[in-house]
Each structure stands twice: as C-alpha cells, then as structure tokens.
Amino acid sequence: MSDFLMPSLGADMEAGTLVEWLVAPGERVTKGQVIAVVETAKGAIDVEVFESGVVEACYVAPHTKVPVGTPLARIGSGERVVSEIPASESPAAMPAPEADTMASAPGVAPAPAAEPSSPAPAAEPSSPAPVAEPDSAAPVAAATPEGLRSAASPAARRRARELGVALGALSGSGPEGAIVLRDLDGAAGRATRPAPRGGFDPDEMRRAIAATMSRAKREIPHFYLATSVDLYAADAWLADYNRERPPEARLLMAALFMKATARALARYPQLNGHYGEAGFQPAERVDLGMAIHLRGGGLIAPALTDAAALALPALMERLQDLVRRARRGGLRASELGSPTATVTALGEQGVDTVYGVIHPPQVAMIGFGSPRRRPVAVDEMLAIRPVVEVSLAADHRVCDGHLGARFLNEIDAQLQQPEAL
C-alpha cells in the first residue's frame, strides 16, 4: 500500500490543481495508467500511477489546489476500499471539501456525516460548494462506504459509471433502499461531466518561467561554448532518405539533431543528469527534453524518453507527438518531470546562435540555430555548404570548458555520419 502524490512537474512547480479523477475508488489500475488530470502553469497534464493495484481511497476533490508531494490517493491491494481513512493512517494537512463538491466529482462519493455509523446524506448537485485551498483538516472521503456499495445493483453501478453519477448522491427505490436502474433515469440530465481540460494562463506561465530562470542564473554557474557544424553529409543523407518515402514517413533535420545530441550525452554522462542537495547524479539513460513554443506564448519542455536508444523514425514520430500534445493538451507527468538535459532549437526563426539558460536540476542546455548556406573550406577549396551553430550552456559545478568542447565535437562527429544514427 502506498500514497499517490501530487507530482513535481518541474523545478518551477510548487503546487497543482486536481482537475479531475479518471478512476474511482475500487478500480484496479496498472503501472503507467493515467488516473488524474492536474493543472499547473504549464496547462493540464495527465498524471500516471507508478505502481499497479487498486484505488482504495481518493483524498482530494477535483478543483482543489495542493502543494507538490501532497497525497492524492491511496493505492493498495483492494482489501480496504473505504470512505473514511482512520486517523492513524491519514495524511497530514489534507483538504476537506464540502460534501456537495465531492458529489459533483465523477467516481468520488460525498463525505460521510459526522456520525460514522450513519450513511452520508444526499448532496444537492445543483449547488456545489466552493473548495478552499488546503489548510489542515481530515482527509476527504474518497470511496462509497461498504454499506452503500452493497446497496446498488451491478447494472445500476455500471450505468452510474457511464453517466458519471456518484451513487452516494442518489436515493434507492429497490429492496432495502438499494439503487436500481430506474433510479438513474432522471440522473442523466443532472450528471456532472468531467471538468474540461484547462489551457494555460500565459501570464502565469511567464511568471513561472521568470522565477525558474532567475533561480537558474542565481544558483548555477553557467559557462557557454559554441561551434559551427558542417551539415553537408547530414543534408545529403536526409534528402536521399526522404526521397523514397511518403510525406508522413519523412524525417526533419531536427530528428538528426536530437539523436546526435542524445548519443553525445550518453558518451558524456557528466552533462546528463540532475544536480541536487547531494551533488550531481548522472542519469541511467538520456531523457532528452525538447523546448516547444506554445501558441499564445510560453514554453514547455517534455522529454523524449530514452532518446539515445530510439531509431530515427521512432524518434521523429515521438517528437511530432510531443509537439502536438504540448500545444493541444495531453502531456504526461513523466514527460515533464524526467528530462536529463534539454535541447532548444530556433531554426525556424532564422536565428544563427541560441544560448540557453539551464533548467534546474539539469546541468546542460544545448542550442541549435538556423542552418544556413555558408562558405566553408573543404580540402583547400571553398565550398558553399549548410552550416548550423551549436551551443552549450553547462554547469561549472559539474564540468569545465574542456569537457564541454569535447561534447560539442561529439555532436559534430555524429552528424558527419548520419547513416549511423
């Protein structure tokens, strides 16, 4: 048994708002399954569970803002699906939303009355009470009490799940007050649908970015390097590769940049990992973040998981998927919390060189400018070739310019052999 916590989706996140539960108490979940939606300054994020089990209790009601690390739910064997967590096992400082608010949340039953032995009163779905910011109170009732769980027919339970209706908010007309299908006939119109996914507040995101970058420049001793990379081989190979494929299967130069960077990071692990209170911890794999510009302003940098091991077609597909979900919604918490280094590319903007600011707790930011045709000396001759400026912002607590230069040279070497990527 363990608690499912409000995740940290980056160094700039201190709290998040639970938008909706995608599971109900009593449901079995598997590792990696999305079970909730959380809204941060970066928008609405799908949050996965990191172990398999049964949702035994949900502590927090939708639309509640709680700090990072706050227990949101309990995942266990399913033997203790309860509506009230014993005081000895209750997480500290949990919010206690009104029963009406809980009744409006799909799959979350209303809080029981003060007397534990009596069932919770039916909530009025037409007048939900506002949920206050967490203070210090008892945990939220998260599952239907056992007495109520047995007072509904299986068919009624299935129908209630389809409608998003909390059974605890209904009165039963069946034997001994059991809820049956006819009790749900009028509930369809009153059913509260899952809250719509929010977008993001550009001003709030800008404040979050400013706070993180200010911290980064204040705490991280940056140093910067840049080099020019001849893209003649990469450009020729890419044109040949795409010539034989339909548009949807073609690669962009950005895929080669990401793969070359990931391989270079794998070879120089001093730049791939996180710096924390215990110092630098190199990562076991390269989860390469990609800075994505959001329409309406703002940036977000989800990770291409294990990028060094991805084949180019798979990497290209994943990259397109990340960009699409970043701009439309649907990024996962694991994609935002895991980058071990980040790439920022401004090739479409016509910028020659970009010098990034390291995103803590990472220790490196790699920048790619716009590829341009320039005169290049080749075997005592002058040639016009595509060239890109590649930059590195690195943490001086972890490495120095000598290693940084070797890292940039490794990216160059990788791009000179695109067929090996």
How far apart, in Å, are the Cα atoms of 74 and each of 78, 89, 91, 174, 373? 10, 11, 10, 32, 58
Instruction: Judge contact between 356 and 342, C-beta under 8 A.
Output: yes
Same domain, 350 and 290: yes
- pTM > 0.75: yes or no: no
The separation between CA 192 and the C-alpha centre of its own chain, rounded to angstroms, equals 26
In a domain, 193, yes or no: no
Tell me: pLDDT of 109 over 60.
no
CATH number at residue 18: 2.40.50.100
Whether residue 94 lies inside any domain: the answer is yes
Report the CATH number that the domain containing residue 232 is assigned in CATH.
3.30.559.10
410 near 264, Cβ under 8 Å? Answer: yes
Name the helix (H) or strand (E) containing 88.
none
Last residue of a domain, one of 157, 184, 211: 184
Residue range 286-302, pLDDT digits in tens: 999 999 888 767 788 89
- Is the domain of 51 the same as that of 98? yes
**Residues 6 or more apart from 266 whose CB is under 8 A from it?**
272, 286, 308
Express each pLDDT in 50-103 by its tens digit.
889 999 889 998 888 888 889 999 998 877 765 444 444 445 444 444 333 333
- Helices then strands (H, E): number in the chain? 9, 19
Angle, CA 223 vertex, CA 222 and CA 224 arms, to 5°: 125
Residue 387's φ and ψ, nearest 5 degrees, are: -135, 145
Within this chain, do residues 286 and 371 fall inside the same structural domain, yes or no?
Answer: yes
For the chain, how many structural domains are there in total? Answer: 2
How high is the pLDDT of residue 156?
67
Q: Are residues 162 and 210 in the same domain?
A: no
Containing structural domain, residue 363: 202-420
The verdict on 81 and 138 lying in the same domain is yes
Q: Please tell me the chain's helix, strand, coil percentages from 3-state DSSP, rounded to the nearest 5.
A: 30, 25, 45
Q: Report the distance separating Cα 29 and Cα 32, nearest Å.
A: 9
Residue that finishes a domain, picked among 149, 184, 219? 184
| Predicted confidence (pLDDT) per residue in 127-167, tens digit | 443 434 443 333 333 333 333 343 666 566 666 765 666 66
Counting Cα atoms < 13 Å in the Cβ hemisphere of 271 gives 32
Length of the chain: 421
Q: Are residues 120 and 247 in the same domain?
A: no
For residues 310 and 365, state if they share a domain.
yes
**Same-domain status, 138 and 223:** no
Residue after which a domain boundary falls, among 137, 156, 184: 184
The Cβ of residue 309 has, within 10 Å, a number of other Cβ atoms equal to 13
